[in-house]
Amino acid sequence: MTSKDRLALYQDPSVQLLLSKFVRGEIVELVPSFDLNQTVRYPEVEEVVEGDSGAAKKLVEKLWDVGIFKRKFHEKILVCPSCLSVNVSNDYVCPNCNSIDIERKTLLEHTACGNIDSVDNFLVEGGLLCPKCNKELLEAGVDYQKLGAWFQCSQCGKRSDMPSPIHRCRTCGHIFTIRDTGFVNIYAYRLGSEAEEEFKRSYLVMKPIGVVLEDFQFKVEMPGQIAGRSGALHRFDAVATKGSSELVVLDVIASEKQIDEVPVASMYAKIFDVTPTQSILVAMPGLTEKAKRLAGLYRISTIEAENSQQAADRIKDKFGWAGLSGNEESLGDLQL
């Protein structure tokens, strides 16, 4: 359940597809749909894993496990304790012989003569007739009252007020009661707000930038880690390598207002140890004059942009001609 697990999942194309739908508001909540054969299905997730319902369920659980999804109790499903099938019937049986072959009998009272008998004995073609006084019973509640019901077993003939409830598994035939029933909770899922921010940052924001770096024939990791000369590991929003000689590191910082020199200084602390061939700081929307001067001093190339697509375009424009490989000449040009 570490952030590393989550970051690895954000790199998975199926996860990217699914989470992007949440971010765009196309999915708000994954509502489970009950399925007799598979217990539960998540149709929106199946779409991103080529219709594989088993893989969809596994993915949902994984995303919950690492804290990307939040879940809410949706339904409790009864399962066969023997084979775990959810295809289970609810039956009522004779408490005497356990036969399912029982019938419900209703007791009627004829108001006029007071005769009480089973409804069967009143039934005639087209209506009800009192077997004692032969008068027709027309209006319920006036001519006659329903006094209640009982159940009669067609096998052993015993009557009872209340037959016994049992469950029967339609898959393996196992018969069981509430005492041995298995229960499975099923959940609805949402994208957690922290995970949403993390995903936007690690994938949506970085994606256009990553595409540009790949266009320059770099192998890109987003985020990426590199060991410095000190042996310490440093994390950058993107680490791009070409062979063993070229190493470009890139950090992205976004804010509501102009960004000051603090992120410039902290990037410098990392590149001082890592010594990449090129360091790029993307600032959205931009940097203060002081921050820009400091970046120049530290040989950090800065890109100011309104959004990540614009940042990607500007990286392409700025580095397109010379490429990203930082020789002294191009570095001089880049630092403006």
Task: Name the minimum Å distance from CB 98 to Zn ion.
Answer: 7
Task: Name the minimum Å distance from CB 122 to Zn ion.
Answer: 9
Task: Give how far Cα 233 sits from Cα of 203, 228, 230, 300, 327, Å.
Answer: 21, 6, 9, 19, 25
The answer to whether 41 touches 53, Cβ cutoff 8 Å, is yes
Select the span of 49-57, 82-90, 140-148, 216-224 touching Zn ion (CB under 5 A).
82-90
Binding to Zn ion (CB under 5 A) within 292-331 occurs at none
With respect to Zn ion, which residue has the nearer C-beta, 64 or 176? 176
Provide DSSP, 136-151: EE-SBTTTEEEEEEEE
Provide DSSP, 53-86: HHHHHHHHHHHHHTTSEEEEEEEEEEE-TTT--S
- Asked whether position 184 contacts Zn ion by CB under 5 A, the answer is no
- Asked whether position 167 contacts Zn ion by CB under 5 A, the answer is no
- Asked whether position 262 contacts Zn ion by CB under 5 A, the answer is no
User: Around 23, how many Cα atoms within 13 Å sit in the side-chain half-sphere?
Assistant: 18
- Asked whether position 169 contacts Zn ion by CB under 5 A, the answer is yes
Task: Name the minimum Å distance from CB 125 to Zn ion.
Answer: 18
- Asked whether position 8 contacts Zn ion by CB under 5 A, the answer is no
CA distance 219 to 114: 94
Task: Name the minimum Å distance from CB 106 to Zn ion.
Answer: 16
Q: What is the pattern of x (binds Zn ion, CB under 5 A) and - over residues 106-125? A: ----x--x-x----------
Q: Which residues bind Zn ion (CB under 5 A)?
A: 80, 82-83, 85, 94, 96-97, 99, 110, 113, 115, 130, 132-133, 153, 155-156, 169, 171-172, 174
